[in-house]
Amino acid sequence: MVIARMGVRRPSFMILGAAKCGTTSLNHYLAQHPDVFLTSHMPYEPLFFESEYERGLEYYWRKYYAAWSGEKAVGEARPANLFLPFVPERIRESVPDARFLVVLRNPVDRAFSLWWQRYSNGIEELPFEEALEKNLEQVRSGVTFEGAEGARLWKEHLSPMGGIWGYRLYLDLGYYAGQLKRYFEHFDREQFEIFLYEDLCRDPQEVVARAWRHIGVDPRETSIDRTPQNVASTWMAGRLRRSFRRNRLLRRLPDGLKQRVLDRAARVGSKPEASASARCSLAEHYRPHNRELEGLLGRDLRHWSSQPDAPL
C-alpha cells in the first residue's frame, strides 16, 4: 500500500534495475494490474534519488505521482538506483519499508546491449572492444560515484532525460554482487525479490505473478500483454538511426516518416552480437563478481560464461 509518514505520501515499491536487463518490460507488465501505479512523468524513470533529493519528498510525490488515483501498490523504475552507491541510504531515509524488485542479466550480454543502444543512437562513437578498453581505464582510475563527491559528479553529468554523459559504464553496471550488498546493508533481505533475465524471457507471467505478490497485490488469472519493451534494434535499423542523427539532410525528414522507416528496418536482418573474443574476455573479467553473486542468490550462474542470451 502507499506509505505515508509525517503526512507525506511516498511509493511502496521500486524496480531498481539493472540497466538493459528487462526493467522496461517488467515495468510494462506490472502496470497492467489495476491495483498497481507506476510513475507517469516523463522520463518515466524518476531522477529524484540521484539528482533531486534535496527538493524533498513532497516535490517527489507531486512531480512523479500526480496521476495516482488510489492504487494499492505505487512504485517507480530507475535502473541507475541499483548502481549508484549513494542512493541506498537516501532510499532508506525516505522509504525504509519499501519493497524492491531486481532483474539481473548475464553481464556480458548486458554490457554489449548497452553499448549497442548507445552506438546505434550515435552516442557512442567507438566499436565495442575499444569502448570497453576506455571503460576499463576509467574503472582503474577509481571513478566510483561514491559519497557526496560521487553524487555531485553524477548530477553534473546527468542529462534531463536520465542519461549520463562523459562516462562509459558498460563494465561497471554489471558488478551486481557489490551493488546488492550495499542495499543489504540498509534493508532486510526479505524486502527484495530478485529475478534473472532469462526467467523473465522464458515465463514472464510467472515472474510478474511473483512480483505482484511481493509488492502486495493479488496476481490475476488473466494473461498479461507479453510484448517485450525497449527491444534491441537490428544492424540495419541501427545504421539508419546513426545516419538520421549525423546527416543534416536526413534530420530534416518528418519524425513520422523517420519512425516508419526505422520500424520497417527493424524487421530486416539480424540483431548484433559480440565477437567470441570479446565475450571470452568479458566472461573472465566478470568471473569473480559472478561467483560472489552466486553466493548471494544461492543460484548457479555458470551458464553466463557460455552462450549469449536473446537480445532485448
pLDDT digits (tens, 9 = 90+) for 225-277: 656 555 555 555 556 555 655 655 455 657 666 566 555 545 555 567 889 99
| Per-residue pLDDT at 4 | 57
- In this predicted model, what pLDDT tens digit does every residue of 206-239 receive, in sequence order? 999 999 999 999 987 656 665 655 555 555 555 6
Asked whether 286 and 264 are in contact (CB, 8 A), the reply is no
Looking at the structure, give the CATH architecture of the domain made up of residues 3-232.
3-Layer(aba) Sandwich (3.40)
Percent of the chain with pLDDT over 70: 78
Q: Which has the minimum average pLDDT: 102-106, 118-122, 209-213?
A: 118-122
| Per-residue pLDDT at 249 | 46
| Per-residue pLDDT at 15 | 96
pLDDT surpassing 90 at residue 16: yes
Neighbours of 57 (CB within 10 A): 17
Q: At what angle do helices 176-184 and 276-297 cross, to 10 degrees?
A: 20
Domain ranges of the chain: 3-232
Average pLDDT rounded to a whole number, residues 19-23: 91
